[in-house]
Amino acid sequence: MRYLPLTPADRAEMLATIGVGTIDDLFSDVPEAARRRDLFDLPLHAGELEVERELAGLAAMNRPAGAGPFFCGAGAYRHHVPATVDHIIQRSEFLTSYTPYQPEIAQGTLQVLFEFQTQVAALTGLDVANASMYDGSTACAEAVMMSKRVTRRNKAVLSGGLHPQYAATTQTIAHAEGMDIVRQPAAIDAEAAVLDAIDAETACVVVQTPNVFGVVTDVTKIAEAAHAAGALLIVVTTEAVSYGLLKSPGEMGADIAVAEGQSIGNGLNFGGPYVGLFACREKLVRQMPGRLCGETVDAEGRRGFVLTLSTREQHIRREKATSNICTNSGLCALAFTIHLSLLGERGLRELAALNHSKARELRDALAAVPGVEILTPRFFNEFAIRLKGDAVAVVEALLADGVVAGVPFSRLNPHAGMDDVLLVSATETTTSEHIQAFASALAGRTA
């Protein structure tokens, strides 16, 4: 077996050093009834060639997003990732290291995390950011639970524009922790409706912008209303590239910003692993979940970085921890920060402008298709359209034309009465030919 260095001679010699006769002697604590003597009913070991053949076979059964016209978004976006990113994250020292608990020999990872935190704070317009969460949805749930610790209140109001699977995740996790989760009904322009739900029991209001229908909202008034009631405003973003064009959550008064960082540096990967971004105001830092990297000095006075404020964390506080999180999303955070360092302010702004431009081109093309109604009044790189008939059926039909048309809203929420709503997105990877192919195919199917 190519991954196992011990030879039979090694094993015999080592057993002798230990002072036992056979390997079974080392498993003597296992109860007799639980000892499995035979191999399990699974295939035997295989060479690289055979493994590669099987996995390539499975991969070939899928249609990659890059195979043709493709317009799915709804929380995961196809962007071009520079070749440098994947090269660097495969370096042994990043790929095969553990969480940096021994800072003297983990300064590479720690400095990267410090830079990542600074970048995320800048993007979100907030003071501090943590070293990443599992993904945007779990970051959203953690933010809601943090609002309970900060306000000592129990109720969270989730806007109807929040991605339904984010809402479901938050409901599952934050409700488990004892919070009262109020989910508002799905609506295209749902944000203003949260104002009526804010009361003296409200710990936080959760608003997504751009929302799941692509609607971009200035949340300043919601922030003011939340603050007047003593509640926090949590702003969720599922498309991190939008930070390059739109007002930041901090600028609009958010107390906590969470986001899915996949768009920057990370591929689609069928939904994971991704990287959750989490930022907040400085005064809330001791209630933050997740790991934090901080600057300090070493014994010779040189600048260095360590994981800090770990008295919030489970391995120190155990049942009194701010969160049970241990592992986060380090390598995806590394990919994010490399890509963002390559982009820089200039590149990110250009990328965001290009995404918006492609979406405008797509909107114009689809708006010209008879029977298509554009539902999203102002958008970044994604919007919702109403079709004549069931969106799932239209998507299936367009597959025959080689077009993956987008995400039917009913897939995210089958109970909203929005079976005719389709979410479509365009990024810098979308070409004019793709857009024309989509518009022609749609015209052909809806005619």
The radius of gyration computed from the CA coordinates of the chain, to the nearest angstrom, equals: 25
Q: Which is nearer to other proteins, 13 or 199 (CB)?
A: 13
- Report in angstroms how near the CB of residue 232 gets to other proteins at its nearest: 19
Q: Which is nearer to other proteins, 229 or 446 (CB)?
A: 446
β-strand partners of 304: 296
Residue 395, classed as helix, strand or coil, is helix
Residue 337, classed as helix, strand or coil, is helix
Tokens of 211: 């929302």
- Report in angstroms how near the CB of residue 231 gets to other proteins at its nearest: 22
Q: Which is nearer to other proteins, 230 or 361 (CB)?
A: 361
Burial 283-313 (b: 16+ CB within 10 A, else e): ebeebbbbbbbeeeeeeeeeebbbbeeeebb
- Report in angstroms how near the CB of residue 224 gets to other proteins at its nearest: 16
DSSP symbols for 172-208: HHHHHTT-EEEEPPP-TT-GGGGGGG--TTEEEEEEE
Residue 386, classed as helix, strand or coil, is strand
Phi, psi of 23 (to 5 degrees): -60, -30
Q: Which is nearer to other proteins, 109 or 151 (CB)?
A: 109
53: left (phi over 0), alpha (psi -120 to 50) or beta: alpha
Q: Which is nearer to other proteins, 199 or 396 (CB)?
A: 396
- Report in angstroms how near the CB of residue 274 gets to other proteins at its nearest: 8
- Report in angstroms how near the CB of residue 325 gets to other proteins at its nearest: 6
- Report in angstroms how near the CB of residue 370 gets to other proteins at its nearest: 23
Q: Which is nearer to other proteins, 181 or 204 (CB)?
A: 181
CB count, 10 Å around CB of 152? Answer: 8
